[in-house]
A and B are shown apart, each in its own frame.
Chain A
Amino acid sequence: MKDINILMIGVGGQGTVLSSDIVCDVALAGDADVKKSEIHGMAQRGGSVVSHVRIGAKVLSPVIPVGEADIVISFENMEFLRYPEYAGKNTSLVVNKYRIYPPSVAGGQETYPAEQTEETKKAFKEVFEIDAMKTATAIGNSKVAGMVMLGKLAALLPFDADLWRTVISKKVPPKTVDMNLAAFNAGYQF
C-alpha cells in the first residue's frame, strides 16, 4: 500500500485526539501498519493539539518528515498555519470553517489572521472547506463537529466506509453512537 501521512491539527476539546485514534484503529483493521505521534500539551486548557498519523506497509518514524504530509486536516480555521513545515506541494487541506479565538484575539490585542488563512490555502494542492459546526448543529449537537471533519477525511482515504462506522461505534460513548454516525455520514458525503 502507498504510504499516507496525515497531520491532524486542532484546539483542545475539539476531539482531535479521539479522531486520530479512530484513524489508527481503522488502518489496523484495514491491514495496514500505522503509527501516530501526538503533542497534546495541556489540551483541556485550550492549547493547540497536533497528531501525526502515518499509514503504510511498514511505518518507521512516528513523526512526519518536512513537506511529506499527504493530508493536513485542521479542525479549526487557522490552526494549520501553525505547522507550515509538514505540508508540501502535493498536500491536500481539509479545513473547518469554524473559528476559535486565541486568548490574545479574544482579549482584543491581536486580530484573527483571516487573510493569511485565505492566502495560505493557495499553497495546497486542493482544499476542502467544511462548515463542520453548522453541519453538527443541524444534526443536533455541536460536539460532533469533529466527527463531520473525520467523515471528510475518511472519504479521502482508501478504507471502506463501513470499517470506519464499526470503529467509530466502538470508540465513542454508547449513547452518542447514532449522533456520531450521522455526523460521520454527513462529512463523508460532503
Chain B
Amino acid sequence: MKEVLSGNEAFARGAYEYGVKVVSSYPGTPSTEITEHVAQYDEIYSEWATNEKVALETVIGASLAGRRAMTCMKHVGLNVAADPLMTVSYTGVNGGLIIVVADDPNMFSSQNEQDSRHYARLAKVPMLEPADSQEAKDFIGIALEVSEKYCTPVLVRSCTRISHSKSVVALKARNTPPIFEPENDIKKWVMVPANARVRHKIVENRLDKLSDCADTGRLTINPVEFRSEEIGIICAGVTYHYVKEAMPEASILKLEMVYPICFEKIKRFAEKVKKLYVVEELDRFIENELKAAGIEVEPLNRSVCGELSVDEVRKLFGKSVREPAFDPRQLPARPPNMCPGCSHRGMFYAIAKLKLFAAGDIGCYTLGLLPPLSAINSTVCMGASIPMAHGMDKATDGALARKSVAVIGDSTFFHTGINGLLNSVYNAGTSTVIILDNSITGMTGHQPNPGTGCTIKGAPTQKINFPKLLEAMGVKNIRTVNPFDPDECIKVLKEETAKEELSVIVTDKPCIFADRSVIKPPFYVDVNNCSGCTICTRLGCPAILWNKEEKRAFIDETLCTGCELCVKVCRFNAIHQRG
C-alpha cells in the first residue's frame, strides 16, 4: 500500500516497521511530529521527556536493555543532548540506537542555523541523510542495522524540507523486533578513564571500517547516477532533488551516509568526471572533508546561509532562471501572534507598562517581543532567561534586578529553567522570575508536559504543583497571580522587583488549547462608550481591531475567546459580553 506521508510521519512509520521499542523526545520544530506519530503505534513505548539530554539518556538505557530505541530532536536540541552523545559514542549500543536530528536551514522557526553534521564528526558516529519521505522511512531501518552491526549510535539528519514535505511512501508490516539480552559489561558501560581509553580506540577503528564498507555488502548506500562525464556532482539529502532537477545532464553521487565519508567511492567517481563539484546546504562540510583527503573539488560561489533550491543550483552553474510575474512589494506583515485569549498577554502588558527589562526564553511567550507589547528584551536559548537575569543582578550589585524580570514558560522551566532557578536560590540571587504556567508546551503545537497532568498518550499522570515545588527549592517569595488581571500583575511586579531577594511569580491560567473550557462568549465594543483611547488595541489581541474612520475599537467576535483582558484595561466601560 502507498500513502503520501510527511518526512516526519515516515520517520515514525520507519520506527514502527523496523521494530523500535522505545522513543523518548522533547518537542522542537521541525522534528515534533515524528514522536507525535510514533505515539499512535501501541507497539512502541513513547514519551515526552523533559529535555533532549534526558530523552537521549532514556533511549541509551533502552538500548542497554537490549531493545531498539530512537530519540528525535531539532538541531538546537542536539546541543542539549550533546553531553551523553559524546560518550554513548564510546560505550556503543546493545539494541539499535538512533538519534533523528532535524535542522532548520533558513531558520523558519529557530534561533540559529547550525549544521548538525558537525556533531557526527565531533562524536565520531555515522550520520545518514534521507532525501524524501520514502528514504526517511527506509533509513530508519538502515540506521538501526548499522547501529547494531557496528555497535554505534547513529544520527539520522532531517531538515525542514524533509520533515515538513510530503511524498509517496510504500508501507510494509512491522518486522519482528530483535531483542538482545540486557548487557552488564563494566568495561563497555562504565566510562571511567581507564575503560574510556580502550573504547576510544574502538571508536576510531569503527569509523575506519564504516568508511570502507559504506558501499558494499548489506549497506548498498551512496549510489552513483552516471550521465555526462563533463560534470560530476556530490550532494546529499533534499539537495539531491534540487541538483537532479536543475542539472539533469550531470553525473551525481548521492551521499546517503554523510559521515564518515566513503573516500574510495568518491575517488573512483572523481576519476570518471572532468569537473567535480560538491553541492550542499549550509556549511562546507563534505567539501572540506574531501579537500582534507586530497580530492580536488571545483569551487562554487555558494552562500553558507539559508536554503538551497532548484533555482539556486541553476544559478551556481550559470544557468538562467525564470522571471517572476511581479515584483515583491512592501506588504503588511502577518507575523505569528499570541492567540486571542492567550494567558501570557496580560503579564506582558504589565511588564511593558512598568518598562521592565525582560530576559526572555523560548516558547509562545517569545512572541511578547512583537509590537504593540514589545515586552521582551533578550532571547538566547531554552532556559537562559533565569541565569541571564541572575547574571544581570550580580553584575550590577542588584541594581538591574530591581528593574528587570526573567520570563519563562512551564515546559521550558522543566526543560532547563529549573537548573537556573536552583542556581539563583543557591547563590542568593535577588532577581524576579515569572513562570508563565499555561499547563502545556504551546509553541510546538500543544504537547503535554509534567505540568499538564497527562502523558503523550493522554493517560492521566502526576501534575507538578509549582508553588509546592518552588517552596521545596527554597524560594521564599512565591506569588500566584491571575494574568488576565493587569492591575494585579502590575501591583505584584512592583512589590516583588523591589525586594532585595529572589522572587518567583507564577501565572496559572491555561493556554486556550490546553483547556478549551476556558473559552467564554465573546465581547463587543459599545461604540457609544468607546472614547477611542486605544488602550485595548495596545494589548495586541488579534481579535481587537481599530476602525480608522470612526476612531473606535471593535472586536472580531469570531476570534474573541472571552478572556476579559480588554475589559479590565478599558477605563470607559465600553466593552461588554454577549449572551
With A45-B338, A65-B309 known as contacts, the answer to whether A102 contacts B238 (CB < 8 A) is no
Residue in B334, B443, B545, B546 whose beta carbon sits within 8 Å of that of A46 in the complex: B334
Asked if B542 and A25 sit within 8 Å, CB to CB, the answer is no
Asked if A106 and B546 sit within 8 Å, CB to CB, the answer is yes
Residue in B109, B238, B325, B545 whose beta carbon sits within 8 Å of that of A62 in the complex: B238
Asked if A36 and B168 sit within 8 Å, CB to CB, the answer is no
Top 3 A-B pairs ranked by shortest CB distance? A67-B322, A42-B336, A108-B546
Asked if A104 and B332 sit within 8 Å, CB to CB, the answer is yes
Asked if A65 and B544 sit within 8 Å, CB to CB, the answer is no
Asked if A24 and B166 sit within 8 Å, CB to CB, the answer is yes
Most B Cβ at <10 Å: residue of A43, A65, A87, A88: A65
Chain A residue contacts of B494, Cβ below 8 A = none
Residue in A11, A36, A48, A63 whose beta carbon sits within 8 Å of that of B4 in the complex: A36
With A59-B167, A60-B241, A106-B546 known as contacts, the answer to whether A28 contacts B4 (CB < 8 A) is yes
Asked if A103 and B335 sit within 8 Å, CB to CB, the answer is yes
Chain A residue contacts of B193, Cβ below 8 A = none
Interface residues of B in 220-264 (CB under 8 A from A): 238, 241-242, 244-245
CB of B59 to closest CB in A, whole Å: 28
Which residue from chain B places its CB closest to the CB of A122 in the assembled complex?
Answer: B326
Interface residues of B in 313-336 (CB under 8 A from A): 314, 321-329, 331-336
Chain B residue contacts of A39, Cβ below 8 A = 108, 160, 164
Chain A residue contacts of B218, Cβ below 8 A = none
Asked if B542 and A86 sit within 8 Å, CB to CB, the answer is no
Chain A residue contacts of B542, Cβ below 8 A = 46, 103, 106
Interface residues of B in 133-174 (CB under 8 A from A): 160-161, 164-168
CB of A5 to closest CB in B, whole Å: 11
Asked if A65 and B245 sit within 8 Å, CB to CB, the answer is yes
What separation, in Å, do the CA atoms of A142 and B335 have in the docked complex? 24
Asked if B161 and A41 sit within 8 Å, CB to CB, the answer is no
Most B Cβ at <10 Å: residue of A27, A37, A40, A62: A62
Chain A residue contacts of B109, Cβ below 8 A = 41-42
What separation, in Å, do the CA atoms of A79 and B372 have in the docked complex? 23
Chain B residue contacts of A131, Cβ below 8 A = none
Which residue from chain B places its CB closest to the CB of A124 in the assembled complex?
Answer: B325
Chain B residue contacts of A88, Cβ below 8 A = 322-325
Is the C-beta of B498 less than 8 angstroms from some C-beta in chain A? no
| Stretch of A110-118, A146-154, A158-166, A180-188 that contacts chain B | A110-118
What separation, in Å, do the CA atoms of A67 and B513 have in the docked complex? 39
Residue in A21, A37, A85, A110 whose beta carbon sits within 8 Å of that of B161 in the complex: A37
What separation, in Å, do the CA atoms of A24 and B314 have in the docked complex? 27
CB of A57 to closest CB in B, whole Å: 12
Chain B residue contacts of A103, Cβ below 8 A = 332-335, 337, 370, 540, 542
Is the C-beta of A189 less than 8 angstroms from some C-beta in chain B? no
What separation, in Å, do the CA atoms of A43 and B445 have in the docked complex? 10
Chain B positions within 8 Å of A, measured between CB atoms, are 2-4, 108-109, 132, 160-161, 164-168, 238, 241-242, 244-245, 309-311, 314, 321-329, 331-339, 364, 367, 370, 372, 443, 445, 513, 537, 540, 542, 544-548, 558
How many of A's residues come within 8 Å of B, CB to CB?
Answer: 60
Asked if B164 and A85 sit within 8 Å, CB to CB, the answer is no
What separation, in Å, do the CA atoms of A28 and B445 have in the docked complex? 28
Asked if B548 and A35 sit within 8 Å, CB to CB, the answer is no
What separation, in Å, do the CA atoms of A88 and B443 have in the docked complex? 35
Chain B residue contacts of A176, Cβ below 8 A = none
Chain B residue contacts of A25, Cβ below 8 A = 4
Asked if B168 and A28 sit within 8 Å, CB to CB, the answer is yes
Chain B residue contacts of A105, Cβ below 8 A = 332
Most B Cβ at <10 Å: residue of A63, A88, A105: A63
Interface residues of A in 49-102 (CB under 8 A from B): 59-63, 65-68, 78-79, 81-82, 84-89, 91, 101-102
- Would you list 28 pairs from A and B whose C-beta atoms are within 8 A, ordered by A residue? A35-B165, A36-B4, A36-B167, A38-B164, A39-B108, A41-B336, A43-B336, A47-B334, A47-B337, A59-B167, A60-B310, A62-B238, A63-B161, A65-B309, A65-B311, A66-B322, A67-B321, A81-B331, A84-B325, A88-B325, A103-B370, A103-B540, A103-B542, A106-B542, A107-B545, A107-B546, A108-B546, A113-B331
What separation, in Å, do the CA atoms of A68 and B320 have in the docked complex? 13
Interface residues of A in 111-138 (CB under 8 A from B): 111-113, 116, 120, 123-124
Residue in A11, A41, A116, A142 whose beta carbon sits within 8 Å of that of B108 in the complex: A41
With A34-B167, A107-B546 known as contacts, the answer to whether A61 contacts B325 (CB < 8 A) is no
Label chain A's interface by main secondary structure. Answer: mixed
Residue in A11, A36, A107 whose beta carbon sits within 8 Å of that of B334 in the complex: A11
What separation, in Å, do the CA atoms of A119 and B325 have in the docked complex? 12
What separation, in Å, do the CA atoms of A28 and B168 have in the docked complex? 8
Chain A residue contacts of B335, Cβ below 8 A = 47, 103
Asked if A84 and B327 sit within 8 Å, CB to CB, the answer is yes
Residue in A24, A37, A44, A91 whose beta carbon sits within 8 Å of that of B164 in the complex: A37
Chain B residue contacts of A82, Cβ below 8 A = 331, 334
Residue in B326, B331, B332 whose beta carbon sits within 8 Å of that of A123 in the complex: B326
Chain A residue contacts of B4, Cβ below 8 A = 21, 24-25, 27-28, 34, 36
Which residue from chain B places its CB closest to the CB of A68 in the assembled complex?
Answer: B322
Asked if A66 and B167 sit within 8 Å, CB to CB, the answer is no
Which residue from chain A places its CB closest to the CB of B558 in the assembled complex?
Answer: A142
Which residue from chain B places its CB closest to the CB of A45 in the assembled complex?
Answer: B336
Asked if A78 and B311 sit within 8 Å, CB to CB, the answer is no
Which residue from chain B places its CB closest to the CB of A20 in the assembled complex?
Answer: B166
What separation, in Å, do the CA atoms of A101 and B325 have in the docked complex? 25
Binary flags per residue of A22-35, CB closer than 8 Å to B gives 1, else 0: 00110110000111
With A36-B166, A45-B367, A106-B544 known as contacts, the answer to whether A87 contacts B332 (CB < 8 A) is no
Chain B residue contacts of A79, Cβ below 8 A = 334
Asked if B337 and A35 sit within 8 Å, CB to CB, the answer is no
Chain A residue contacts of B545, Cβ below 8 A = 101, 106-107
Asked if B167 and A62 sit within 8 Å, CB to CB, the answer is yes
Chain A residue contacts of B244, Cβ below 8 A = 60
Asked if A85 and B324 sit within 8 Å, CB to CB, the answer is yes
Chain A residue contacts of B3, Cβ below 8 A = 28
CB of B306 to closest CB in A, whole Å: 13
Asked if A61 and B245 sit within 8 Å, CB to CB, the answer is yes
Which residue from chain A places its CB closest to the CB of B443 in the assembled complex?
Answer: A42
